[in-house]
Amino acid sequence: MRLGIICALKVEINDILTQCADVQKQEIAGTTCYMASRIGTAQDIEVILMLCGMGLSNAAAGTQLLISHFGVDTVIFSGIAGSLQPEHAINSLVVGSKLKYIDTDSSLIAESLPHLEVFHADKRLIALALETAQNLGIELQPAIIASGNRFISRQQDVESIRTKLNASVVEMEGAAVTHICMKNNIPSLIIRTISDYCDTCYEDFGNQKFEICQAAQKSAYFVVKFCEQIAKYQKLFNS
């Protein structure tokens, strides 16, 4: 089995890399990729980690590269996100059950394969992620995630996204990753840890290094444990 893990930021991928063996770095189409023979204690699984950069276009291009060039069977996104709802507190771990685009006429996108306006995580991966979290004693909350090419920091934007999309988490890559995976009939899952409440500008957010690193580390830790479970039950995803 060949598993793809994609992150937008260095802080999101660094802790995952430390849990990988025989890592080889390669630059392809302006994208940094890492090939590893093992992640955590997982056996019989190859891992391709990708640092795609922020935004929908970078995420879509990176995901297609994972699929077309590296031939991955499954794609997992690991990273941080902003909360739109009080139930997702700082350092909460969430899994994207549904992914939606912000500021997009999705009916136009749906004219092409996979002919959808809302994109869905793989149900088998969600079930396994929830089981993994339970075994680890970690709360994992399913969430509707909204993805766009803007850093959300204004209250009016928070309210608009929450109302129009019924979303509770916001970020900049998830919908594109899931969209491209569904287009290629590849299972995927978006794992995020809440780092902020969308109440500060990007410049000030960048100064909150401890909170950002803490959130990224929690997501990375869970993703490594999750990948170990995927390796254990990999036959489930080969059917």
Report if residue 120 sits inside a domain.
yes
- d(Cα 3, Cα 230) in Å, to the nearest integer? 9
Confidence band for 203, pLDDT divided at 50, 70 and 90: confident
Q: How many domains does the chain have?
A: 1
What are the b/e assignments for 173-210, b being 16+ CB within 10 Å? Answer: bbbbbbbbbbbbebbbbbbbbbbbbbeeeeeebeeeee
- Between 109-118, 184-193, 200-209, the lowest mean confidence (pLDDT) is in 200-209
Residue spans of alpha helices (H) in the chain: 10-17, 56-68, 106-109, 123-136, 155-165, 174-183, 202-206, 209-232
Report if residue 43 sits inside a domain.
yes
pLDDT at 138: 96
Report if residue 239 sits inside a domain.
no
Report if residue 220 sits inside a domain.
yes
State the average pLDDT for the chain. Answer: 94
More confident: 223 or 208: 223
Q: How much is the average pLDDT of 44-56?
A: 95
pTM of the predicted model as reported, rounded to 2 decimal places: 0.95
Report if residue 196 sits inside a domain.
yes
For 226, the domain range is 2-234
- d(Cα 215, Cα 233) in Å, to the nearest integer? 27
CATH code of residue 72: 3.40.50.1580
pLDDT above 60: residue 239? no
- d(Cα 83, Cα 93) in Å, to the nearest integer? 11
- d(Cα 84, Cα 216) in Å, to the nearest integer? 18
